[in-house]
Structure 1
């Protein structure tokens, strides 16, 4: 099967590639065309997933398709943007009909959940890697940024943390667990649902925001740095799920929540007065102070900040 036949058969004909609100022209020409309402800006983000780095080289292609799109769309949620369209650049070592059908199915399922359309892309031969570029729209001046946190704000997250990191031994086949424990953890790893609605609700409320991909403490460090403030995280307020605690135990579950990454849950700062406008699933985990950096406090108020705060692709080894 040639490149163009592959695109037509598995992607151009998919329901998620048939256009949607804001898509004037999708797959078929040299470029896609997007319509933006007056007074709105275009939000763009790109994510690349590489076999053996971001996912096991041998895995269910349907689950991989879901995950590939979800982690990219999460960046739109972090900016408070409404999802519009995405492109897919797929590098394959070989063309396998069963693999492609499963991957396209997973991609389409996540696209439907996120309300986003496939508008173009590319395919080529090589080691398996997946690059997704997402496009969203946000009212001019209302995009959530990392740079506005103020002393006195509260530090919050949009849900439980650590589930995806806790799922890794299950994903890699290193451990097993009962279905009621393994199920929610694997679901969070393979099908994290971008918090698009929460991101939109945070417009005009949050002073800073991002999505947690490399670990809570590491990612909060980005807010602290560009906002010129200090963030204090209270260990007892970090939300971890019952399945994660059952699988790892309380202490290891908290470690996964603090440094594990792959959560794709929003972390954000808001004035205390804004909390009443937010849903119950929002968890207050700390506060913004004058100063710099991120500090983790135990129940007695002692500084217990770990040296390794999250994942880095190019960390130098001693």
Structure 2
């Protein structure tokens, strides 16, 4: 199939109204009245972010969910997305059909539509990117820079499952229930939490808890101290014990939220999160950098903070 046949067959059925059936060079999008737009873009590259034999539907869904997690960290409501694909000739119609099916599944789940994008060929590996568009009330976008001394440090969900799931996929760990593998292949972005006015700063955990917490510290000019034993673990991760603790703290790809919250707002945070688990793991104070305390109360020496892109 040529480029236009692919678009008409697999992607035009996914188009939102603003995407004009993907027959024009750009979308025409009106933001909801009285709202500000929030944009984020992320890419996934074969052999870097996914394996060649991964399910195309899961690749598509993770591509969207990585970006949806960025919107969640800004407190934004998802609106739609732009998609780019660079595909080698070996990618067949069955792969594209499954990929488009995955996009459709998450469009329905998260209430978004395809607005447009670009399609190209690739010499060797698959390259994908998605630009997600969301909206917030004016001045209410959560940022990394708002943490204050005395704020508690909170995380949603459990931390470290995705990096352990990657070890499962590499054949280095057993995963009888399939839970860890699933967490690696399909994160759960925490969209829809009404955190404006409750949270002082936020980021999603993509590159590792310690590294992403360091971003909040640098943006606010503060130090963070966390207790490693308080970092929430799933039952599957907890069963592996302290042998995987450093991996859990630095592995990344969890796409949980990392939040700075004043003590007086803790109850409001828990109410806003509802059924989403939220755990306090430390606090901010004057200084710089991230201090991780072990079970003995002493700072842990970590071999690294998280994923390095270069």
Query: Per the alignment, in what secondary structure is the counterpart of residue 144 of structure 2?
Result: coil
Counterparts of 2:174 and 2:156 in 1: how far apart (Å)? 28
How far apart are 1:108 and its partner, in Å?
A: 1.4
Which residue is equivalent to 1:204? Answer: 197
Q: 1:252 maps to what in 2? A: 243
Query: Which residue in 2 is equivalent to 1:287?
Result: 283
The gaps in structure 2 that reach 5 residues or longer are: none
1:168 to 160, 166, 169: 166
- 1:262 aligns with 253
What is the aligned partner in structure 1 of residue 104 from structure 2?
108
Paired residue for 1:56, among 51, 57, 63?
Answer: 51
Is the CA contact (8 Å cut-off) linking 2:19 and 2:115 kept in structure 1? no
**1:141 — aligned with what?**
139
Q: How does 1:153-192 map to 2 (within 5 A)?
A: 153-178=151-176, 180=177, 183-192=178-187
Cross-structure match for 1:242: 235
**Distance in 2 between residues matched to 1:148 and 1:260, nearest whole Å:** 25
Q: 1:286 to 1:175 in 2, by over 3 A?
A: closer
Partner secondary structure for residue 247 of structure 2: helix
**Which segments of 5 or more consecutive residues in structure 1 lack a partner in the other structure?**
none
- For residue 168 of structure 1, give the secondary structure of its aligned residue in structure 2: helix
Whether 2:241 is the aligned partner of 1:276: answer no
Aligned-partner Cα distance in 2 for 1:230–1:40: 34
Query: Does structure 1 residue 13 correspond to structure 2 residue 6?
Result: no
1:250-288 superposed Cα distances (whole Å, 9 cap, x missing partner): 113422320000000000100111111123611101001
1:105-139 per-residue CA deviation (whole Å, 9 max, x = no partner) reads 11211222222111111111103011111000011
Aligned position for 1:222: 215
Structure 1 segment 37-116 matched on structure 2, within 5 A? 37-94=32-89, 95-116=91-112
Structure-2-length-normalised TM-score: 0.93
Deviation, 1:24, is 7.4
Mapped partners of 1:194, 1:260: distance in 2? 17
TM-score by length of structure 1 reads 0.91
Partners of 1:56 and 1:172 within 8 A in 2: no
Q: 1 CA distance for matches of 2:196 and 2:244?
A: 31
**Runs of at least 4 residues off by over 4 Å:** 23-26
**Larger displacement relative to structure 2 (113-122 or 34-43):** 34-43
Residue aligned with 1:147, SS: helix
The count of corresponding residues between Structure 1 and Structure 2 is 302
- Contact preservation (8 Å) 1:78, 1:211: yes
Cα RMSD after superposing both structures = 1.5
Alpha-carbon distance in 2 for matches of 1:173, 1:43: 39
